[in-house]
Structure 1
C-alpha cells in the first residue's frame, strides 16, 4: 500500500534485522544482574491479562522517582524482556524504572492498549513514590503521549505526579497507517485513527514534553515528531544527529547521556 515504504525501518538501517537479537541479549544480561543483586521486581501483574505484567528496576538507594518506559514494535511485536538494559541510565541516577508489556494486535486494538498503559502507569505509581516521568519508543512513544490526552483515565494520584513525558520517535498521527499493510493486523478505521492520534488531541494535559527523534530516521518519523511538537504548545523537539530508528533509544542506557538529562532534569 502507498505508505508501506514510508513506515518501514529495518530495510533502511545497516544490519537492521540483527537488532532484536542484540536487544534481547543486552536485556537478558542486565536483568540477570539486577535480579541477582535484588534490585529487580520481575513479572509484577498490573492486570489480569497474560501480557499485563511489568518489570521494575530499582536504584541502589531510595528512589528519587519513577520512570515508566513503554516499548515499541508497531503495537504488534516485542515485550518488556527486550529492553531491560535501557533502565540503567535512570537507575544509575537514582530513579526506579517500570517496563510493562501490553496486549498486542490483533488480540487487542490500539484503544485497549492505551487503557492498559494507563492501568500500568497507575500500578507502577502505587509501587514507587515521587515524581513520574514517562517515555516510550515508536508505538510506545504514541502510547505515552496518549497519557496526556484528557480522554485517557489516569487516576489523580498518578496524574498529579507526572513531571515530564518523552515520546521517542512517536507515531503521533495514526491516519497515515490506514494506508499500510500493517493495518490488516491493527484494524484501525478512520474514526479510531483520529481519536488515538496525540497530534490531534485538543487541550493536552499541561505537563512538560520533550519529543525526541533521530536525524537519520525515515522522513515519516521525523515529520511525525515535528507534528506532535508543533501541535502541543508545551512541547519541545530534539532531533539527534547520527541516530536512526533502532539506535535512537540507546541514550536511555547511559546515565550521562543528554537524553537521560532531559528526561530526569
Structure 2
C-alpha cells in the first residue's frame, strides 16, 4: 500500500457529504449548549499542563453516576469544548458528563496521552460519586479502550461500569504508513504497546460501536477489537464517522442505552 492509499483509508471528510462543515457545526452547537447549561465546571485542571483539564456538566438532580467522553482528532486535534453538546443525552438520563482534554501530538506521544487520560479519570473519580461510563470516539475510542486494558488498572478502575469505544483505532500499526505518522511518530514498539487489540481487557463490560457507512478501515478496526476481546460489537446502519456520535445527544438512543446498560 502506498502512502497515498494509506492516507485515503483513514480520510473521513472527503468521503462524507459536507464533511468539511462538521467541525464548525460542532463548535457552534457546543457553544450554544455551554451558554445555556447552568450547572457546569469548565477547564478544571487535573495536571499542570495547559491541556490537562476537563469540563463537567451536572444534571438538575443528584447524578446517578458520570459519563466520561474522550474526543477524537487522531491525537493531533480537537478539544473537549468542541463536543459539549454531546453531554445532552447523559444529562437527560440523570448522569453528569465529564469531557477531559489531553496534550496533542507532537507535544506528546500516544503512550503519554494514554497516561494523561488515566490521570484525568483519577481526578474525575475523586470529585464524583457512583459508576463511571466511559465512551470515546475515533482516537478517543482508542483511549477509552486503553483504559479497559489490564495494564491500566488503577484504583479508579473499580468504578468503571461500562466502556463503549466508538469507531476506535484499536490497532496502530496501519497508521505508521500514513502521513499522519510524520507528526505522531509511532514506531513498531509503540504500535504494539498502545494497540488495544494486543492487550488483555479488564473484567468490565465493553461494547464496540461503529457506523455502517464508515470507511472500511474503521469497520475493520472495530471488528478486530471486538474479536480480540470477545466483546459486544454494534454496527449502526447508515451512520458515518462524524454522525455516529450523535446518539450521545439523546438519552433514548440505542447508543446511550447501550452505554448506560
TM-score range, shorter chain: over 0.9
The reply on whether 1:129 has 2:133 as its aligned counterpart is no
Structure 2 partner of 1:114 = 114
* Structure 2 Cα separation of the partners of residues 174 and 189 of structure 1: 9
Picking from 246, 254, 259, the partner of 1:258 is: 254
* Structure 1 Cα separation of the partners of residues 136 and 113 of structure 2: 13
Displaced runs of 4 or more, over 4 A:
none
* Structure 2 Cα separation of the partners of residues 129 and 86 of structure 1: 21
Structure 2 partner of 1:31 = 34
Query: Structure 2 length normalisation: TM-score?
Result: 0.97
* Structure 2 Cα separation of the partners of residues 57 and 77 of structure 1: 22
1:92-122 per-residue CA deviation (whole Å, 9 max, x = no partner) reads 1010110011000000000000000001111
* Structure 1 Cα separation of the partners of residues 109 and 238 of structure 2: 34
What secondary structure, in the 3-state scheme, does the structure 1 residue paired with 2:7 have?
coil
* Structure 2 Cα separation of the partners of residues 70 and 148 of structure 1: 13
The 5 A counterparts of 1:71-150 are: 71-150=71-150
1:6-60 per-residue CA deviation (whole Å, 9 max, x = no partner) reads 11111100010000000000100001111xx2x1011100110100011000111
The reply on whether 1:207 has 2:210 as its aligned counterpart is no
* Structure 2 Cα separation of the partners of residues 23 and 124 of structure 1: 24
Structure 2 partner of 1:167 = 165
What secondary structure, in the 3-state scheme, does the structure 1 residue paired with 2:108 have?
coil
What count of residue pairs does the alignment treat as equivalent? Answer: 258
Structure 1 partner of 2:242 = 246
Deviation, structure 1 residue 149: 1.4
Query: Structure 1 length normalisation: TM-score?
Result: 0.96
The reply on whether 1:68 has 2:68 as its aligned counterpart is yes
1:131-162 per-residue CA deviation (whole Å, 9 max, x = no partner) reads 1110000000000100111222x431x11111
* Structure 1 Cα separation of the partners of residues 255 and 216 of structure 2: 21
* Structure 2 Cα separation of the partners of residues 4 and 178 of structure 1: 10
* Structure 1 Cα separation of the partners of residues 180 and 11 of structure 2: 10
State the Cα RMSD in Å: 0.8
* Structure 2 Cα separation of the partners of residues 107 and 91 of structure 1: 33
* Structure 1 Cα separation of the partners of residues 164 and 254 of structure 2: 13
* Structure 2 Cα separation of the partners of residues 133 and 227 of structure 1: 22
Structure 1 partner of 2:227 = 230
The reply on whether 1:191 has 2:189 as its aligned counterpart is yes
* Structure 2 Cα separation of the partners of residues 59 and 95 of structure 1: 6
Deviation, structure 1 residue 61: 0.6
The 5 A counterparts of 1:37-76 are: 37=38, 39-76=39-76
Q: Which has the higher helix share?
A: 2
Deviation, structure 1 residue 83: 0.3
